[in-house]
Structure 1
Amino acid sequence: MKKALCYLVLLTSTFTTFHSISAQEPAKNPKFEVNYQKFVLDNGLEVVFHIDRSDPVVAVNLTAHVGSAREVAGRTGFAHLFEHLLFLESENLGKGGLDKLSARIGGSGANGSTSRDRTNYLQTIPKDALEKMIWAEADKLGWFINTVTVPVLEKEKQVVKNEKRQSSDNAPYGHNWYVIDQNLYPQDHPYNWQVIGSLADLQAATLDDVKQFFKRWYVPNNVTLTLAGDFDPVQAKQWVEKYFSEIKAGEKITPLKKRAAKLTETKKRYHEDNFANQPQITRTYPTVEQYHPDSYALNVLFEYLANGKSAPLYKVLVEDKQLVPSADIYHQTSELAGQAYLIARAYGDIDLDQVNSGIGQAFKQFEKDGISEQDLQRILATQETDFYNQLSSVLGKGAQLAYYNIYTGDPGYAAKEIEAILSVTTDDVKRVYNQYIKNKHYVVTSFVPKGKLELAVQGSTKAKVTEEQVVQGAEKQVDPNVVASYSKTPSTFDRSKEPKYGQSAEAIVPNIWQAQLDKIQVLGIEVHEVPLVDVELVIDGGQLFEPINKVGMANILAQMLTSGTKNKSPEALENAIKLLGASISVSANKEDIRIRVNTLAKNYEQTMDLVTEILLEPRWDKKEFTLIKQQTLSQIRQQQADPRSIANNTFNELIYGENNIRAKNILGNKSSVEAISLEDIQDFYRNNLSPNLTRIHVVGAIDKKAVLASMSTLKAKWPATNVTIPKLATANRPTESKVYFYDVPGAKQTVVNIGYPALAATNKDYYPATIMNYILGGGSFASQLTQELREGKGYTYGIFSGFSGTKDPGTFRIFSQVRSNVTLESAQLIKTILENYGKNYSQQDLATSKSFLIKSNARAFETANAKLGLLDNISKYNWPQDYVKQREKTVNNIKVKDIKALANKYLLPNQMVWLFVGDANTQLARMKTLGFGEPVLLNPARSH
């Protein structure tokens, strides 16, 4: 570990110290500074402030130094369970807790995450609600645990188990991480188990277990509070002291010792995966803990080995042997240890021994050639940009300050970290390869499709994976809404009184400049928070131009555009981009093709020169075209085994009909992709990409003059052509509801899609309907769907509803993934909510919606992505620059009777498509009870 910056931390709450840190580039470049203030309360709570007045918002982050590593075998998943529980209720917030409060104050939605080593609770709020949030965060820490009852605990266990099914048990390759950690770390190592825990451990947890865990770890002397944004630090410090200071410190907490994984042999394990269509190999190597000096050189090594067309793994596995569409290495460094995952998913039925041999060949190539100084500088430039990106929002800065404080004791460690990143040498990279990778033992897992065991790496033994059995009625019914009786925790003042709002936090619409480059519309926002520039070049049309028999052309064209230019090979183009610390990606969408750019401001002009070259001088490389088609077919095959992808693609076909291009997967299908020629792609490019369909949006540390100057070549060399976007037939709402079922045998969850063709974004009812939908399913924990299906029943990890129109009508859709054995019960509950929504909609529902929709505008423009979205809406729909402020008038003027009328018009459960993707053997027959006739099985060949 490199020595942290020295600073004074005074151990009382009456003094503070101020620091200025700078992520420093070479002397010729300006400093990047993150100012902070730190103080410590008498009870041990560490508090870090960062002032950023660019937007009227504050990010609040409460981070506890407890993750799964503080658990014990047999009682795993507790830290993650508390990530959930702490949002629900506390003594003074009452039922709904932080989630309910967040909705009222216009917050970004109370969120959290758990890792091996920490749990954090964070959100961005309008600055006028800061005292409310400090009050609420203190209530979680000091006035919470008495509210956890057996029904509350049992319900939340079901929610967490649904999350595990969604991320692991019901997803392709989802058990891979469990198998790896079980074999990489011994049983007594705190990284041996998964952060989310096991289904058995979660079910076995008692109320006393949970309370003891909380009292041990969720104490002020194990917590860091960070505030980042626009606030008065003197006033905020007084609030922190008022609400947190009387919470008692817990027992002294001894830091865990660093403990790297040690392998005495290479371990080989296989698993037959119910949801995988292609075999996947993962090699996992023990490395070092976070902030270890070698971690930075290892990051460079892994980037060089795997990422990009010059990478040895790409050269051998993708280009030469054509065994896999891609190979990646992910470096996970945690507080106690680190590990590197090398992951390659093979084409079709390729034997993973071939892939494993190819990995060895790529490593030998690296041993022979090493890494050049130019390759090193290319990677460091990209890492520098990534470093600034993670600090580009107040939420990101607040989280990073907390991590630095917890793991290094220095909130200002960013200065040391950027120095460590940029000081890596080629010798460092070679050294860490020899020290941690070359001829070292590793864990290798083979995840193969059911019945394809012969594809696993030779010598592998069966991995120990417990598959959940779907049993109807297995879970007990509980009512978490029962009001618990308990003795209230004492306080020196009345904490039941919620603090008042501060001075109103009005949304500040950024200064937007506009210009016209002949036919191209350009909009920009100049902002200097970080030395970055983001650009989005949008060419309208996209998939809408595709013929129905050659779906997938827009997607292939998007990839071809970054596969070299007239004067640069694919590898040379990629290297030129990365040497600038830039990223340039091209994506195809239903209605457009987008070129997205992120670059250091100092390299903006050179980056835009490359964008112009990419757009105007494609290479049309035949070898790349063949690879892209092969990779696309692999993606399509993968989707055919993923329940979520199946549901999305099938829902679109049911909504739009099989002859409407909007129904088609952006990737295409097997026959359409195989039918596409390189000439087809060239014709698509010539006929459908034109300046008269192009909009450019620029956000960052660059002024209008420089932006327009950078586009002079594009303006001069790209002639406008008259291209008209096809007008498609509008899909009709169903006259009656029908249930459709797609069978995925053995599914642990059912993916639910319910909806119909609805409104265009330009329709006068669109935004009022969005307001109407907030309490239904658009308001996260404020919504009825979430409150009933997740919080009330524990059927799902998440559920939402929403309208998705553009210039053309889109859909209204309800989406969720529910526990398999409550598929019918979930559908019945959704149906009941829809039937009663208009009837039961109240003045309080409207007040909650209005409060959120108006107050949340204070944070509407905080991030670069938010600003790009603002510019996109203005240029696409010709909306006024202050359309967000104008919408506030719509919110203020809408009445309950208007909401009821909209609900009666647009929420008709008897005129919707009801699609379920799950296990037909156990769930199909039950769906007739929903009342929409005999369910239609869409893939009878797969049924049991």
Structure 2
Amino acid sequence: MPRNLTASLALLTALSIPALSLFGCDRSSTQSEPKPQTEAASQAPAEQEAKPDFAIDYQQFQLDNGLNVLFHIDRSDPVVAVSLTAHVGSAREKEGRTGFAHLFEHLLFLESENLGKGGLDAMSARIGGSGANGSTSRDVTNYYQTVPKDALEKMLWAEADKLGWFINTVTEPVLAKEKQVVKNEKRQGVDNRPYGHSQYVIDRNLYPEGHPYSWQVIGSLEDLDNATLDDVKTFFRRWYVPNNVTLVVAGDFDPEQAKALVQKYFGEIPAGEAIERAPKQPVTLKETKRRYYEDNFARQPQLTLAWPTVPRYSEDSYPLAVLTEYLSDGKRAPLYRVLVEDEQLTANVSMGAYESELAGQVQLEVQAFSGRDLDAVYAGIQKAFALFEKEGIAEQDLERIKAGQEVAFYNSLSSVLGKGFQLAQYDIYADDPGYVSEDIERLLAVTADDVKRVYQKYIDDKPFVAVSFVPKGEKALALADSTEAQVVEEQIVNGAEDAVDPTAQAEYQKTPSKIDRSVEPAYGAPAQTTVPDVWQSELSNGIEVYGIENSEVPTVNFSLVIDGGQLQESIDKTGVANLTAMLMERGTKNRTPEELETAIQKLGANINVSAAQDAFRFDVTTLARNFDEVFALVQEMLLEPRWDEKELVLAKKSVTSQIKRAEAEPGAIASKTFARLLHGDDSIRGYSGLGTEDSVAAITMDDLKAYYAQYLSPSVARVHVVGDISQQDFLAAAESLAKQWPAKSVKVPDPKSEPAKPGIYFVDVPDSKQSILRIGRLAMPAVSDDYYPAVFTNYILGGGGFASRLMQELREGKGYTYGIGSSVSGDNTGGRFAIGSGVRANVTAESVQLIHDILADYPDTYTEADLENSRSYLVRANTRAFETAGAKLGLLENMSKYDWPADYVREREATAKAMTIPEVQKIAEEYMQLDSMIWLVVGDRATQLERLKKLGLGEVNLVE
């Protein structure tokens, strides 16, 4: 469960904080049911009409204690987003005491004086919230959640406790347990994955000793171990004060009423010491530094180059965003042309800006194919830079890139949470909540001369940091003249951490208040779920069409779903569907791959072709005014693929590279092995959609053409559309496709699964810092009468995020894991129940035993309170069910796939309200019984295998 800031909350340009700068708890509660498709980011056309004046309406005021408050009204959905942004990140820490800001991001969710232990998560579940969540960067820490609008007062009451009624609840046992959780997060996100330590090496060498960006946001294990209770409380009292915090409320609410509530709950919290803005601290490298590291989990060499640049929202940050995208992204990019197409050293090049409040950097990353020397990669980079110096950036490329960044910018502000969050970021980083207007103007004002200027100023012949990460034993592949990087590797020691008592209650003196904060506020006026109006039709070739008109933003999202996907493959040719999808994105009969890519980008569109296990699909996002032209391109891609032999070679290399990398990732190993154990060697469901190295090598262009000709037919296709387009206009465009795409009979196979016998299975990943657990069994399809009752039953077990028993006991109680959850998932013909987690290596056996006990006890310990909490969440959460275009598209796809009515959420609400404890027990005893489970452990055999055997839970089978 990686903790990072969701894409909807950050600008999708180099102006945003990239994911690599963030650590947070992804505390979102996801329900186990067919998932809506993710919204694709759209791009703008090169030829803009009159540029609109863009602004986010807001109100701003300040309490006497210095709390900065921002309101944004949006009545499109019955929801409200509440966020607290503290202007404190890792940059406010000191060497030797790093990781405190991120530690507090965790601590602030655990307990407060008035909500009690686990009270925020329990309340979030009851009120139907999105889940209390947070993130930490170098500069800020965020806490946020979207809830039904009638829960606004509850959220303000709860968030005020973070600042005024929290710190006394942090005791030595609480701190000790949460240190273990944070260390688990570091193991999962850094220590136990390929190239996980690379950012640590880069920043340590890019910034001088003592610079606040020279250490990582998550801190070091040693610093976390050494942190005392006094250290932690002193840090909190300095930085988590009203005069260093911005509160944002965005959504459907009464601003006058909300202002009074903010005063009521936050007004009496005392201000802290005055806090001055930290001065800018840009850096300059005197010489290039080259470092290498032999990575236990890497199977391919990776080279990362980093140059110091400018802080966020600096004048040069805008042309740098254009420069990095032009150099690396797409067929016309110099780095792609040289490294991917000409020299075929890699499948992908990424380059982007990592800009923060005090300084910034640009990074270029290339993961080379197995065995390729990174000196050759570096030479290719220099060749690409020389190409740019010679050619510059053409005006059409400049406009194309700016257009894409512009619409990505708008899309990042599409939800109430995104807009509210961005208001706070502008206020903190630019000292102006209304900076959005200037932000987009500065982006659009970038010229070709600006792009050339920043290249010469920051990159051309400038010192940089070069970091080579190579597989163990392959030091020779590292960049020449590199010295070994110093990386601290944790040793696996059984019993190294002290056990914690999850039942221990903190003892502390209550903080006085002028009001009674011990009672949770009542709901406001009821928030009513509104199911969108859905229209349905059928094209002349038999394709069913489902649509929702929505003019909130001038965009259109649509998907063409063709049933089959990987299910149409043979086991000896796995990967055919995926490669077919890749080739259909790479040119048409009359357009080269570059020409097709440019045509799509100029229209501000995104067209993604992909193959899932049970479907082949086109996913499209476009500005409404360009819909007809974009649909024509989709039609061309579908009916007239180019079948470019050169592109097949590149695509096969790219897929093989992905397969190779997955060989060493414990999470990927677990997913692959678990699927095979669940379905067996003879079912295609047990194989990766990427294929294997052997199967991909054997696939030919004839295989792709045969797949295309046999299985892509309107007879098994469905179309869904959401956005600013009428039913009539969409059908007129779609009918032109129908006339040229005749239907033919296609049967989608239903391969039978033969699961392995229940028991414990172990895969050895030497020196793994965590053990990956996958536990489960086959279950009912999504169309079964038991399906939604099973989703309901699973909510308290592991589907309810931080409110679930698995999370409360393994993470909040024991500190064994960063995250654990269980899910019920299915399609038309089958499904599964599964539990997934990564636990620290030295409590592998203890974790397996605890999960075993929780499952064994679940039916008999399910209470009336559990029943009511599940009902409350699963009914009230529907107010958030259709906020975004992606969610609306998901509604349509569920209707078309499962033949559900448009208001199927009403049926689910009725099911939830009618559930009883005996019905929950019946579902749990039928689908979650211990003797039917496959238990998979992926970890370090040398230290954990014998401990698992001693549990006495059955034979432990080694899997190669």
Q: TM-score, normalised by structure 2?
A: 0.94
Partner of 1:806: 827
Matched, 1:611 2:645: no
Q: Is the contact between residue 532 and residue 600 of structure 1 (CA under 8 Å) also seen in structure 2?
A: yes
- 5+ unaligned residues in a row in structure 2: which ranges? 1-43
Partner of 2:260: 238
Partner of 1:186: 208
Deviation digits for residues 540-593 of structure 1, max 9, x if unmatched?
Answer: 110000011100000001100110011110011111111112111111100001
Amino acid at match of 1:907: M
Of 702, 710, 713, which aligns to 1:679?
702
> Matched residues in 2 for 1:520 and 1:405: separation?
49
Q: Is the contact between residue 831 and residue 909 of structure 1 (CA under 8 Å) also seen in structure 2?
A: yes
Matched, 1:300 2:322: yes
Give the Å deviation of 1:632.
Answer: 0.8
Matched, 1:665 2:705: no
Matched, 1:650 2:654: no
Match of 2:826, SS state, is coil
Give the Å deviation of 1:712.
Answer: 3.1
Matched, 1:718 2:737: no
Q: Is the contact between residue 325 and residue 630 of structure 1 (CA under 8 Å) also seen in structure 2?
A: yes
> Matched residues in 1 for 2:406 and 2:548: separation?
23
Of 910, 916, 926, which aligns to 2:931?
910
Q: Is the contact between residue 380 and residue 581 of structure 1 (CA under 8 Å) also seen in structure 2?
A: no
Partner of 2:597: 574
Partner of 1:601: 624
> Matched residues in 1 for 2:422 and 2:588: separation?
38
> Matched residues in 2 for 1:346 and 1:533: separation?
37
Q: Is the contact between residue 683 and residue 753 of structure 2 (CA under 8 Å) also seen in structure 1?
A: no
Matched, 1:796 2:846: no
Matched, 1:880 2:911: no
Deviation digits for residues 29-70 of structure 1, max 9, x if unmatched?
Answer: 655442111111111111111111111001111100000000
Give the Å deviation of 1:481.
Answer: 3.5
Match of 2:57, SS state, is strand
> Matched residues in 2 for 1:453 and 1:374: separation?
43
Higher relative contact order (CA 8 A, sep 6+): 2
Q: Give the share of equivalent positions with the same residue, in percent.
A: 59
> Matched residues in 1 for 2:343 and 2:208: separation?
36
Superposition CA RMSD, Å: 1.3
Amino acid at match of 2:688: N
> Matched residues in 1 for 2:343 and 2:871: separation?
59
Amino acid at match of 1:644: G
Of 854, 859, 864, which aligns to 1:838?
859
Matched, 1:744 2:765: yes
> Matched residues in 1 for 2:50 and 2:328: separation?
32
1:531-550, aligned counterparts within 5 Å?
A: 531-550=554-573
> Matched residues in 2 for 1:805 and 1:702: separation?
32
Give the Å deviation of 1:713.
Answer: 2.5
Amino acid at match of 1:897: P
Of 492, 516, 534, which aligns to 1:470?
492
Match of 1:325, SS state, is strand
> Matched residues in 1 for 2:636 and 2:707: separation?
18
Match of 1:484, SS state, is coil
Matched, 1:398 2:398: no
Partner of 2:545: 522
Q: Is the contact between residue 678 and residue 753 of structure 2 (CA under 8 Å) also seen in structure 1?
A: no
Match of 1:856, SS state, is helix
1:556-595, aligned counterparts within 5 Å?
A: 556-595=579-618
Q: Is the contact between residue 502 and residue 809 of structure 2 (CA under 8 Å) also seen in structure 1?
A: no
Partner of 2:796: 775
Give the Å deviation of 1:775.
Answer: 0.5
Match of 1:757, SS state, is strand
Q: Which moved more, 1:706-715 or 1:345-354?
A: 706-715
> Matched residues in 2 for 1:35 and 1:142: separation?
30
Give the Å deviation of 1:532.
Answer: 2.2
Matched, 1:689 2:712: yes
Give the Å deviation of 1:802.
Answer: 0.8
Of 112, 123, 129, which aligns to 2:134?
112
Match of 2:346, SS state, is coil
Match of 1:811, SS state, is strand
Match of 1:95, SS state, is coil
Q: Is the contact between residue 447 and residue 456 of structure 1 (CA under 8 Å) also seen in structure 2?
A: yes
Q: Which moved more, 1:504-513 or 1:621-630?
A: 504-513
Partner of 2:75: 53
Q: TM-score, normalised by structure 1?
A: 0.96
Q: Is the contact between residue 382 and residue 580 of structure 1 (CA under 8 Å) also seen in structure 2?
A: no
Q: Is the contact between residue 309 and residue 570 of structure 1 (CA under 8 Å) also seen in structure 2?
A: yes
Deviation digits for residues 13-42 of structure 1, max 9, x if unmatched?
Answer: xxxxxxxxxx99966365544211111111
Matched, 1:124 2:143: no
Amino acid at match of 1:813: A
Q: Is the contact between residue 32 and residue 530 of structure 1 (CA under 8 Å) also seen in structure 2?
A: no
Q: Which moved more, 1:705-714 or 1:129-138?
A: 705-714
Match of 1:930, SS state, is coil
Deviation digits for residues 794-823 of structure 1, max 9, x if unmatched?
Answer: 000000101111101121110000000000
Of 828, 832, 839, which aligns to 2:849?
828
Give the Å deviation of 1:251.
Answer: 0.5
Amino acid at match of 1:635: Q
Q: Is the contact between residue 283 and residue 443 of structure 1 (CA under 8 Å) also seen in structure 2?
A: yes
Give the Å deviation of 1:380.
Answer: 1.0
1:64-463, aligned counterparts within 5 Å?
A: 64-463=86-485
Amino acid at match of 1:740: Y
Match of 2:179, SS state, is helix
> Matched residues in 1 for 2:716 and 2:529: separation?
31
Partner of 2:63: 41
Matched, 1:901 2:901: no
Amino acid at match of 2:144: L
Give the Å deviation of 1:364.
Answer: 0.3
Q: Tell me the number of residue pairs that the alignment of Structure 1 and Structure 2 aligns.
A: 915
> Matched residues in 1 for 2:524 and 2:185: separation?
37
Match of 1:35, SS state, is coil
Matched, 1:701 2:719: no
Deviation digits for residues 893-925 of structure 1, max 9, x if unmatched?
Answer: 111111111111111112111100000010111
> Matched residues in 1 for 2:53 and 2:530: separation?
27
Matched, 1:763 2:777: no
Q: Is the contact between residue 715 and residue 745 of structure 2 (CA under 8 Å) also seen in structure 1?
A: yes
Give the Å deviation of 1:202.
Answer: 0.7
Q: Is the contact between residue 317 and residue 358 of structure 1 (CA under 8 Å) also seen in structure 2?
A: yes
> Matched residues in 2 for 1:873 and 1:934: separation?
41
Partner of 1:6: none
> Matched residues in 2 for 1:30 and 1:698: separation?
26
Matched, 1:503 2:525: yes
Q: Is the contact between residue 54 and residue 437 of structure 2 (CA under 8 Å) also seen in structure 1?
A: no
Match of 1:194, SS state, is coil
Give the Å deviation of 1:934.
Answer: 2.7
Give the Å deviation of 1:731.
Answer: 4.1
Give the Å deviation of 1:689.
Answer: 0.3
Give the Å deviation of 1:145.
Answer: 0.3
> Matched residues in 1 for 2:392 and 2:305: separation?
21
- 5+ unaligned residues in a row in structure 1: which ranges? 1-22, 940-944
Amino acid at match of 1:780: G
> Matched residues in 2 for 1:463 and 1:579: separation?
43
Q: Is the contact between residue 778 and residue 832 of structure 2 (CA under 8 Å) also seen in structure 1?
A: yes
Q: Is the contact between residue 53 and residue 437 of structure 2 (CA under 8 Å) also seen in structure 1?
A: no
Q: Is the contact between residue 173 and residue 500 of structure 2 (CA under 8 Å) also seen in structure 1?
A: yes
Deviation digits for residues 481-511 of structure 1, max 9, x if unmatched?
Answer: 3122211111111111111001111211112
> Matched residues in 2 for 1:146 and 1:219: separation?
15
Q: Is the contact between residue 129 and residue 877 of structure 2 (CA under 8 Å) also seen in structure 1?
A: yes
Q: Is the contact between residue 737 and residue 932 of structure 1 (CA under 8 Å) also seen in structure 2?
A: no
Q: Is the contact between residue 266 and residue 441 of structure 1 (CA under 8 Å) also seen in structure 2?
A: yes
Give the Å deviation of 1:480.
Answer: 4.5
> Matched residues in 2 for 1:933 and 1:91: separation?
44
